[in-house]
Amino acid sequence: MSALFEIILPVFLIVGFGYLVTWRGWFSAAAVDGLMGFAQNFAVPTLLFVSMARLDLGTEFRAGLLIPFYLGAFAAYGLGWAGARLVLKRSAVDSVAIGFVCLFSNSLLLGIPITERAYGPDALAGNWAIIALHSPLLYTFGITVMEFTRARGSGLSVGRVALRALTGVLRTSLVIGILSGLSVNLMMQAGLVLPQGFWDAVDMIARAALPAALFGLGGVLYRYRPEGDMTAIALCCTASLILHPAIVFATAHLGGLDRDGMRSAVMTAAMAPGVNAYLFANIYGAARRVAASAVLIATALSTLTIWMWLSLLP
């Protein structure tokens, strides 16, 4: 019970406070948009930049950590896509969007603060290694599948569709922050020395990222309503909150992953779908109500499922 109140509740209180003040009209929709614009386009990419620049690339990018996480993620996508397409008889583009909701866990805004509160800041190395691939890999996969799905029968060449997908991925601010940080990391290993004033400035922005993003997330969630097909929403919640972390837990255990790696992989997988899952659906005009409702409901349910996974982890 202490984990619920000492680890999970403080993070969700920030989200809930943002929800409350937006609901009461004390924080306007324009203010929410401005705050999230700062967080998503500047503060969070800066946090990713700093984390990637300082990450030990030689020790944290290991198959035993990454394979269980992404095996679970793509299995969750497969369940979401197949359930939507074959059982619920949704359109092809809706099925891709629903699968993406199941695929894209909120690894950064929820995964980082909860893992840090549970196990301390030294336990985050595995989280950052997963996050380094998270947006580039999953956006590339989701956009590519969606573009090919939409292009079916249009006569567009494979090269044209692939170029469109790659361009879409490289323009996202999160991917820019990750790639910039990894580039600086490699240059520092080659002898580059950046002045301490530079690091002090980026650290100041990075420290604002999570509180601002969590508060803004609450304001964004207020806009969502539990509408749409409840069966599809339940499918998304089950795939993201239960199936993904269960596969990670089982495969990491069988593979002999160490304690810290197990904590990072399972806790990152156990997070609810992120707002980016809704933004993906909104960009393509596919399954928007299901995506929005799934993000809201899964975020609320994750207060209990995260507690369960914390109790199971060593």
pLDDT tens digits, one per residue of 266-301: 999 999 998 788 878 877 888 888 888 898 889 989
In a domain, 188, yes or no: no
- How many domains does the chain fold into? 1
Share of the chain above pLDDT 90, in %: 45
**C-alpha torsion angle, residues 236, 242, 248, 249 (rounded to 10):** 180
Please give the angle made by the CA atoms of 127, 133 and 136, to the nearest 5 degrees.
Answer: 140
Least confident window among 108-117, 132-141, 166-175: 166-175
In a domain, 194, yes or no: no
Question: Does 132 score more than 80 pLDDT?
Answer: yes
Residues 122 and 120: their CA atoms lie apart, in Å, by: 6
In a domain, 87, yes or no: yes
Residues 194 and 252: their CA atoms lie apart, in Å, by: 38
Predicted pLDDT of residue 229? 83
Domain that holds residue 29: 2-41+61-175+209-312
Residue 223, CA distances (Å) to 31, 169, 219, 236 in order: 13, 26, 7, 19
Residues 219 and 209: their CA atoms lie apart, in Å, by: 15
In a domain, 167, yes or no: yes
Looking at per-residue confidence, does 252 or 282 come out higher?
252
Predicted pLDDT of residue 225? 67
Residues 262 and 65: their CA atoms lie apart, in Å, by: 7
Question: Does 1 score more than 60 pLDDT?
Answer: no
Please give the angle made by the CA atoms of 102, 108 and 113, to the nearest 5 degrees.
Answer: 120
Residues 28 and 24: their CA atoms lie apart, in Å, by: 9
* Spacing of C-alpha 259 from chain mean position: 22
Residues 310 and 303: their CA atoms lie apart, in Å, by: 11
**What are 274's two structure tokens?**
């992120």
**What are 263's two structure tokens?**
């904590």
In a domain, 234, yes or no: yes
In a domain, 230, yes or no: yes
Looking at per-residue confidence, does 276 or 237 come out higher?
237
Predicted pLDDT of residue 155? 61
In a domain, 277, yes or no: yes
**C-alpha torsion angle, residues 132, 136, 137, 139 (rounded to 10):** 140
Question: Does 242 score more than 90 pLDDT?
Answer: yes
Predicted pLDDT of residue 152? 76
Predicted pLDDT of residue 153? 62
Identify the CATH number of the domain in which residue 169 sits.
Answer: 1.20.1530
Question: Does 9 score more than 60 pLDDT?
Answer: yes
**What are 98's two structure tokens?**
């629903």
Per-residue pLDDT tens digits for 55-100: 887 777 888 999 999 999 999 999 999 999 999 999 999 999 999 9
In a domain, 50, yes or no: no
124 C-beta neighbours (distance < 10 Å), count: 21
User: Mean pLDDT throughout 116-120?
Assistant: 91
